[in-house]
């Protein structure tokens, strides 16, 4: 993203301006936080642990209704962007968890307990990673402000079950995703009551603005992202982007954000990587469309621009999805030949080898790549999968264990981890991770079965068994 922030010739003025900005926003936030420190007592605000429990129930509800993108690179892109902001938030109530929903809606939302969901449609529409950072920072503002929790407390006689239905339905909408959740008028009425107020939006904007500045992002993206969504609607979209229905954008909100920037400009330190964003957006396009149509479209583009990196990459991905593996490999070889500096195409070629069932070839390339990129999540995941499918679960487990702290709620990953533990004959842990998979995907009967088997087979001194015993029995039912 172009860094067109105002330049200061005098470094002392710059430091003074930054300090003044921080003090001013800190003062505004202090008033807000002090007010909310008093209000919870009057409203008997639900405790942090209760909100975490609500978040766990919401996660189960949402994951049973939506289709997540099972792509480590896309997931890591969203999580890394979010973590860059979270690291400057001094007091976080929750451990934030990130998910990408395969859905064309321009939407993102954060639920109680630190659950953050981004729709693939939003990722495909943004103009920069900075805009994603701004959306996530605003969502963190709602979570840290505990806005949904406060609204639940204001609603009399609402059960946790009804709250779960109402919250999930509100954020997913009344379209294809939300209709299965909002089945009763009571849940609909509760959802309406849960919508963010103008004060909620302003508080979230203030918090986001400060965090974005401290993290080195450009908070003007708060305004440009909203304007992009509004333009999308004006250009003929049949529905208002979902993000705007839950986060209304009255004109004064745009003016407020503009004024905030003019009075408190920030100094950026994040450098955009347009190639990385284009990769993410190309992957989403391929995952969301018919590969045959995309192949024809890319072939036409490549006739005009045979060396176009984006078209070649989309073509290779589409061929892989259509199971035309040999031509996909040839296309990756062409990319590697034309763009030898972009070694990530070696990793992409290895993933196609994995899809072909050529696990040894996949392992060979991935082991080379991981030496230079030891923390690359996608490489670690496909290296583990290649070992597992290739009949070496012991080797696979080494790499799966590295991912577990990051993906404790990643259902597809937990299923593969269960398979891996079964392969090394650690049946108790295998059943435990199968239980986690089926619990998260809403399959209660299968979850209950694997939970019971895990409790029977895990060693008595196992910390996993201790964790299971501490959970409420209702979690598996």
CA distance 245 to 108: 11
Q: Locate tokens 């999308």: which residue?
A: 232
Burial class (CB in 10 A: 0-12, 13-18, 19+), 300: exposed
Confidence of residue 270 (pLDDT cuts 50, 70, 90): confident
Structure tokens at 214: 């401290």
- In this predicted structure, the answer to whether residue 416 has a pLDDT above a threshold of 50 is yes
- In this predicted structure, the answer to whether residue 21 has a pLDDT above a threshold of 60 is no
DSSP-derived letter for residue 404 is T
Confidence of residue 96 (pLDDT cuts 50, 70, 90): very high
Helix and strand counts by DSSP (H, E) for the chain: 24, 3
- In this predicted structure, the answer to whether residue 153 has a pLDDT above a threshold of 80 is no
Backbone dihedral angles phi then psi of residue 111, each to the nearest 5 degrees: -105, 165
**What residues are paired with 20 via a beta bridge?**
none
Question: Cα torsion for 163, 168, 174, 180, to the nearest 10°?
Answer: -90
Residue 160 is predicted with a pLDDT of 61
Output the pTM of the full model.
0.81
pLDDT greater at residue 475 or residue 48: 48
Confidence of residue 200 (pLDDT cuts 50, 70, 90): confident
Residue 24 is predicted with a pLDDT of 46
Mean pLDDT over residues 460-476, rounded? 78
Confidence of residue 224 (pLDDT cuts 50, 70, 90): confident
Structure tokens at 242: 């979902």
Alpha helix (H) residue ranges in 289-343 = 291-304, 309-321, 325-338
Residue 35 is predicted with a pLDDT of 39
Q: Which of 80, 112, 82, 93 has the alpha carbon at shortest distance from 33? A: 93
Residue 380 is predicted with a pLDDT of 98
CA distance 357 to 93: 44
Asked if 97 and 114 touch (Cβ cutoff 8 Å), the reply is yes
Mean pLDDT lowest among 396-400, 406-410, 429-433 = 406-410
- In this predicted structure, the answer to whether residue 184 has a pLDDT above a threshold of 80 is no
Mean pLDDT lowest among 62-76, 166-180, 276-290, 382-396 = 166-180
Proportion of the chain in helix, strand, coil states, percent, rounded to 5: 70, 5, 30
Mean pLDDT for the chain?
A: 82
Alpha helix (H) residue ranges in 249-290 = 251-263, 274-288
CA distance 390 to 382: 12
Backbone dihedral angles phi then psi of residue 101, each to the nearest 5 degrees: -95, 130
CA distance 437 to 267: 43
- In this predicted structure, the answer to whether residue 44 has a pLDDT above a threshold of 70 is no
Q: Which of 194, 150, 198 has the alpha carbon at shortest distance from 38? A: 150
- In this predicted structure, the answer to whether residue 39 has a pLDDT above a threshold of 50 is no
Residue 248 is predicted with a pLDDT of 63
The end-to-end CA distance of the chain, in Å, is: 49
């Amino acid at each position: 993203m172009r860094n067109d922030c105002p330049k200061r010739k005098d470094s002392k003025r710059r430091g003074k301006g930054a300090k003044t900005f921080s003090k001013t926003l800190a003062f505004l936030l202090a008033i807000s936080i002090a007010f909310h420190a008093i209000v919870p007592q009057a409203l008997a605000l639900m405790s942090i642990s209760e909100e975490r429990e609500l978040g766990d129930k919401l996660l189960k509800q949402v994951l049973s209704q939506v289709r997540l993108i099972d792509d480590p690179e896309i997931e890591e892109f969203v999580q890394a962007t979010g973590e860059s902001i979270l690291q400057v938030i001094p007091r976080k109530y929750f451990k934030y968890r990130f998910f990408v929903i395969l859905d064309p809606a321009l939407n993102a939302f954060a639920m109680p307990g630190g659950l953050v969901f981004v729709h693939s449609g939003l990722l495909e529409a943004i103009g920069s990673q900075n805009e994603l950072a701004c959306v996530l920072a605003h969502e963190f503002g709602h979570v840290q402000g505990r806005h949904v929790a406060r609204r639940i407390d204001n609603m009399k006689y609402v059960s946790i079950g009804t709250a779960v239905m109402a919250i999930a339905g509100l954020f997913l909408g009344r379209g294809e995703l939300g209709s299965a959740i909002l089945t009763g008028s009571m849940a609909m009425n509760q959802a309406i009551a849960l919508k963010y107020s103008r004060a909620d939006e302003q508080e979230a904007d203030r918090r986001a603005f400060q965090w974005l500045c401290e993290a080195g992002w450009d908070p003007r993206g708060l305004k440009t992202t909203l304007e992009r969504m509004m333009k999308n609607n004006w250009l003929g979209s049949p529905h208002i982007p979902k993000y705007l229905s839950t986060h209304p954008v009255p004109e004064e909100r745009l003016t407020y954000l503009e004024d905030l920037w003019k009075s408190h400009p920030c100094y950026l330190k994040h450098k955009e990587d347009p190639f990385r964003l284009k990769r993410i957006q190309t992957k989403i396009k391929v995952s969301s469309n018919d590969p045959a149509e995309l192949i024809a479209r890319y072939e036409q583009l490549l006739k005009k621009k045979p060396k176009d990196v984006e078209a070649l990459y989309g073509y290779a991905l589409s061929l892989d999805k259509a199971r035309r593996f040999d031509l996909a490999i040839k296309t990756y070889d062409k990319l590697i030949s034309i763009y030898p500096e972009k070694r990530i195409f070696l990793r992409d070629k290895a993933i196609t080898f994995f899809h072909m069932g050529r696990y040894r070839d996949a392992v060979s390339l991935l082991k080379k790549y991981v030496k230079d990129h030891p923390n690359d999540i996608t490489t670690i995941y496909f290296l583990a999968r290649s070992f597992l499918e290739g009949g070496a679960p012991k080797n696979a487990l080494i790499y799966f264990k590295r991912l577990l702290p990051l993906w404790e709620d990643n259902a597809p990953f937990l299923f593969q981890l269960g398979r891996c533990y079964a392969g090394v004959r650690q049946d108790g842990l295998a059943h435990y991770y199968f239980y986690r998979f089926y619990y998260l995907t809403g399959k209660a009967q299968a979850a209950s079965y694997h939970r019971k088997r895990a409790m029977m087979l895990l060693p008595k001194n196992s910390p996993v068994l201790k964790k299971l015993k501490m959970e409420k029995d209702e979690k598996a039912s």
